[in-house]
Structures are given as C-alpha cells and as structure tokens.
Amino acid sequence: MVDFKLTAEQESLRELAHDFAEKEIRPVAWEYDRDGTFPAEIIKKAWEVGLMNFHIPEAYGGPGASALDGCLIEEELSWGCSGIQTTLGCNGLASTPVVLAGSEEIKREYLGRLTEEPLLASFCLTEPEAGSDVASMRTTAVKKGDKYVINGSKVFITNGGYANWYTVYAKTDKEAGHRGISAFVVPRDAGVVVDKKEDKLGQRASNTAAVSFNDVEVPASHLLGGENEGFKLAMATLDVTRPAVAAMAVGIARAAMELATDYAKERVQFGVPIAMHQGIQFMIADMATEVEAARLLTWKSAVLLDQGERNTILSSHAKRFASDAAMKIATDAVQIYGGYGFIKEYPVEKLFRDAKIMQLYEGTSQIQRLVIARETLLPRRAAAPMAHGQGAGGGSANGAQAKSAVGS
C-alpha cells in the first residue's frame, strides 16, 4: 500500500522550517525584496538551526537528509520567501556534483567548508551564449602539467557575488559538443572575478551575478569525475535537485493561494465577501487542486530518488507542473485582489514576480516538456533505468535540460 503520511521526524522538520519561515523570513521578506538586500543574517541563522546543507552526507559533516526531507524544508522556506530560499538552497545545487563525483579529498575539503561555517557555493553552467543549449558553452579548461587553466564567463549565477567556491563547467574538448564538457571545483581565491550583480524582476533577495575566469588555475585533482564527463554529471545533478525546485514552486503557490483566500473572505462587494461569488470560489478551488497535485508530483520524484531509482521523467513532471502552477496561481491571486493586487503595498505582487523564475531556472518549462516527450515516446525497454549520472540520453534535447536562467 502507498503511504503518503510523513513520519514524526519529518513532521517535526517541516514544523521547524515553517516556524523559521514565519518568524525569521516573512517579517523582512518584502523589505528585502524592495531593496534587493542580501540576507546575510538569515543565512547565519538558517545555518545554525540546520536548515542549510541538509543534503550533505554525515561523513562530511552534514545531516544526510533524504530528498523528501529536503523538499519539506524547501516548500516551507519558499512559503516564507523564495528569493531567500534560493540563497539558502543553492549550496545543494553547487555541492551535488561534488557529492556525486568528487574525490574523497575534494569532498572533505569543500563539503567540509559548508558545514564548518555559514559559507556559500555557486553552480556555474550558463553562459551569455549557452543557456538551454549547453553544448554552445565557450568557457575552456586546458590541462597544463598538473593543473587546469580555465578561461570564460558565466551568467545568472546564484550567490555568485558571495560564494566561497564554485562548481564550474568548461570545455576540455572544444570540438566534441556536450561530450567535451568537464566539471571542476574552483575556489574563489583562485582568481574568480565577479563582474556585476543582476537587477532582477523577482527573487530580489537572492544575489545573482555574472562571473569570469581569466587564466584561473586549479589543481588537476579539482576535476570532478573524468575528463569530458561534465555533461553527464550536470544532468545527474539536475535530476537530484529538480524535486527541490518543484517544492519551492509549491511553496510560492501555497503562499499565493492562502493570501487570495484570506483576502476573498475579507473583501466585500455587492454586499457580501467576494468569497461568496462562484467565480471566485472556482478560482480558489483550482488553486487548491493545483497545489495538492504539484506537491504529490514533487514528493513522488523525491521518493524515487531516495529509493535509488531513476527519476528523470518524474522530476521533469514535477518541476514543469509545479512551476506552471505557481505562475498561474500567483496570477489568479493578483486577479482576486483586483486593482490592489497591482500595488506593491499588497504582498501578492511580490509572489507574482517571484513565481516567474520558476518556469525558467533548472530547465525551462519548454525544456521539461522536451524531456517528458522524449522519455514518453521512447520504447519502454529503452527507457529502463540507467546508471546513476547518465541522465536522459545524449541528444541535443537532453542537452537542453541544463540550467537556463537565474540560479544556474
């Protein structure tokens, strides 16, 4: 029998994350959004109570939480503010390639940094000319003796201006397309240059920057996995992290639904609260269904991961549905508020702006549909589980799974 009931430990974890979001994040979220303030104090507090780096294995100082545990945290903190949660959660994206393919020495050094201090890391894949089309990246890594020399630029990098270290993807074989990409750990003090901070539509409490690598040298030991295996590693990483991104979208959607529901009960038109009007009731009913459906898809994709199963199509289902639902629900919440929803004084305006990025990063909604279509149309025998890290295949459509916007 399928059991959707959380354990007592998971309920406690969910409650911890919700209380933190309610007490530490929501009271300042709209101010941080308005000013584009980096949430340094919240990062420190979240690190202290264990709401960061929960994905890191116990052997390297982390709690070794499950993917489902992570989704519970991501939803609640995103209910508080998805921009702040993006800041807190980016360490998971940056460090997953290290967990999957780093040497023992690299894991202890760089995962240890995150668990010993409230430090940040960044994931560097997207470039000015290479978003969904990862094979077009121009950043290169040339081996010289016992080192690699990295040159190139990356854009839309979450925490890029504050990261202690970066997971960087670069071409080690410029003629091999996506099969010529490798991944490296690059410490900030190796010479990483922060070019600019982006001024964003939403999630403004999250730092997003352009960074460049100008003859940056790293030891050969900082190569993750084998040379030219970076694309497979990126795809495996995104299979791991997409459930958490879907959970973030659920958090935004739930927050928008709750605000719209409360407002509909208070706002009186034609002599009754607008919640009494059938048109509003149907909108709220659809919101409730979409939140539940998005959460169930998210949990299923996470549980598959925890069970060691290949979750490529389920994580794409979850990410696509949850992000589109968040955008729709936030849009409808603004509609329910009417003209007030268009005013910055009212909170749904922020959720509307925050929701949009969910359809873009960790692979756009259109790219998720390509992945889903490919997996669905393949003969059943060809869609059997692959070795961990193989991703969804080697074609250009799969290459387009990779990160394509803020947070890459």
Residue 95 tokens read as 């460090």
Q: Tell me, what amino acid is at 361?
A: Y
Triad 8, 10, 16: Cα angle to 5°? 105
Compute the distance between CA of residue 169 and CA of residue 124 in angstroms, rounded to an integer: 6
* Percentage with pLDDT > 90 across the chain: 90
CATH architecture of 8-116: Orthogonal Bundle (1.10)
Give pLDDT, residue 41: 97
* Percentage with pLDDT > 70 across the chain: 92
Give the Å distances, CA to CA, from 14 to 20, 122, 187, 236. Answer: 10, 26, 33, 27
- Angle between the N-to-C axes of helices 348-358 and 230-266, in degrees from 0 to 180, rounded to the nearest 10: 160
Give pLDDT, residue 2: 74
Compute the distance between CA of residue 321 and CA of residue 315 in angstroms, rounded to an integer: 10
Residue 18 tokens read as 């919700």
- pLDDT value at 389 more than 70: no
* DSSP states along 224-288: ESSTT-HHHHHHHHHHHHHHHHHHHHHHHHHHHHHHHHHHHHH-EETTEEGGGSHHHHHHHHHHH
Lowest mean pLDDT among 202-216, 301-315, 374-388: 374-388
- pLDDT value at 172 more than 90: yes
Q: How many residues does the chain have?
A: 408
Q: Do domains 8-116 and 121-228 have the same CATH topology?
A: no
Give me the chain's average pLDDT, please: 92
CA–chain centroid gap for 172, Å, is 26
Domain segments of the chain as ranges: 8-116, 121-228, 231-399
Give pLDDT, residue 178: 94
CATH class of 121-228: mainly beta
- pLDDT value at 8 more than 70: yes
Place of tokens 């925490």: 159
- Tens-digit pLDDT profile for residues 366-380: 999 999 999 999 866
Question: Phi and psi of 377, rounded to 5°?
Answer: -85, -20
CB atoms within 10 A of CB 128: 13
- pLDDT value at 401 more than 60: no
User: Where does residue 35 rank: exposed (0-12), middle (13-18), buried (19+ CB within 10 A)?
Assistant: exposed
- Tens-digit pLDDT profile for residues 88-106: 999 999 999 999 999 999 9
83 and 203 Cβ atoms separated by less than 8 Å = yes
Residue 277 tokens read as 């009007």
Give pLDDT, residue 396: 30
- Tens-digit pLDDT profile for residues 242-262: 999 999 999 999 999 999 999
- Tens-digit pLDDT profile for residues 114-144: 999 999 999 999 999 998 999 999 999 999 9
Lowest mean pLDDT among 324-328, 368-372, 397-401: 397-401
CB atoms within 10 A of CB 119: 20
SS3 content of the chain, % helix, strand, coil (to 5): 55, 15, 30
Give pLDDT, residue 1: 52
Tally DSSP H helices, then E strands, for the chain. 13, 10
Q: What CATH number belongs to 231-399?
A: 1.20.140.10
22 as an active site residue: the answer is no
249 and 323 Cβ atoms separated by less than 8 Å = yes
Give pLDDT, residue 335: 98
Compute the distance between CA of residue 342 and CA of residue 345 in angstroms, rounded to an integer: 9
186 and 166 Cβ atoms separated by less than 8 Å = yes
**Is the full-model pTM beyond 0.85?**
yes
Average pLDDT over residues 325-337: 98
Q: 137 in helix, strand or coil? A: coil
As a dihedral over the C-alpha atoms of residue 150, residue 156, residue 159, residue 165, rounded to 10 degrees, the angle is: -10
Q: 170 in helix, strand or coil? A: strand
Please identify which of the residues 24, 127, 362, 375 carries the catalytic annotation. Answer: 362
188 and 165 Cβ atoms separated by less than 8 Å = yes
- Tens-digit pLDDT profile for residues 54-77: 999 999 999 999 999 999 999 999
Give pLDDT, residue 404: 35
- pLDDT value at 161 more than 90: yes
Residue 367 tokens read as 């790219």
In sign, the C-alpha dihedral spanning 154, 158, 161, 167 is negative
Give pLDDT, residue 4: 84
Q: Tell me, what amino acid is at 32?
A: Y
Lowest mean pLDDT among 306-320, 337-351, 369-383: 369-383
